[in-house]
Amino acid sequence: MDTLNPNHLLTFAVVARLKSITQAAECLHIGQPAVSGQLKLLQQQVGEPLYERKGHQIELTPAGAGLLSYAQKMSDDLNQAIDYVRCLKKVNAGLLRLGSTTTIASYYLPHFLVEFQTLHAGVRVTMKTADTDEILKQLHELDLGFIEGPVESEELPGNYEVIPWQQDEIVLVLPEDHVLASVYPESVPLNVFADHPVIWREVGSGARKVVESALSRAGVDVEVNIEVTGVSGVKEAVRAGLGIGFASSQALRNERSGLVARRVNPPEGLIWHLNIIAPKAIIQSRAASAFLQLCK
């Protein structure tokens, strides 16, 4: 048996609803012969009559009534798809999948997410947090990635691009009663990393890469004895007295519980860059494009 023509089924659903070929033709904005022709072809494929005429109206046969349930479901699904696409065009539906480092997710993205969901309440947003290296590995599962530090072009699939976003500074994290806090009230030199136990971020951390690069350029050799995951891990380890740490200046901006921040490597400081990894514009979803516009 040949495959049923979806258009014939959709036309049949309209005829059955209106109980009139003439009215169905008007509703579909096609000629009455075209409607009759589609019904004839559909009946031929079914192999028995789907309706019979009763005056100016039609009445479905048992076969027609059985087929109508499927034709009506197809019509309903099509209408829902049309509504969904209409919502997508208004960015009021769909899914936005974000990937972000913990620092950016905690201290940069929240107010953008609030604004986005206020403007586009119908879009469902998911966010996966991981370090920079993991976000880059999982790009195929994301609409946008928010990472720390530079990215080499060869690390990205050909249909993705790096969008420079914001600039931040890495600062030293200390207990407020630490000797370094009193000796250096504003900035500390890089060599303090060699003189005190250091709480290191995980290997894939963008902040760690900035610190390691600066130490390497300065010829300062530092052992890695304590390693934790995320900004919160660094702050809690420092608070517990395990050593000195480092984090985004944003992470210490509102800190009120025993920790202080000091600039590192005066006068330049340790500057790092936050970037967005996005599909090229031609393949971005409307939701991703709308979120990018907010971030810019």
Tell me: the pLDDT tens digits for 22-73? 898 888 889 999 989 999 999 999 889 999 988 888 899 999 899 999 999 9
Q: Based on the domain organization, do 228 and 171 belong to the same domain? A: yes
pLDDT at 166: 93
- Position 101 scores a pLDDT of 92
Instruction: Give the domain extent around 30.
Output: 6-89
Q: Is residue 238 part of a domain?
A: yes
Domains of the chain: total: 3
Q: CATH number of the domain that 72 lies in?
A: 1.10.10.10
Ranges of the chain with pLDDT below 50: 1
The pLDDT assigned to 222 comes to 94
Residues 60 and 102 grouped into a single domain: no
Same domain (yes/no): 104, 150: yes
Answer yes or no: do 67 and 192 share one domain. no
Q: Are residues 10 and 58 in the same domain?
A: yes
Q: Does the pTM of the predicted model rise above 0.75?
A: no
137 and 281 together in one domain: yes
Q: What is the pLDDT of residue 94?
A: 85
Judge whether 40 lies within some domain. Answer: yes
Q: What is the pLDDT of residue 90?
A: 66
Q: Are residues 284 and 143 in the same domain?
A: yes
Residue 1 within a domain: no
Please give the Cα distance from 112 to 105 (Å, whole number): 10
What pLDDT shows up at residue 80? 80
CATH number of the domain encompassing residue 156: 3.40.190.10
Three-class SS of residue 6?
helix
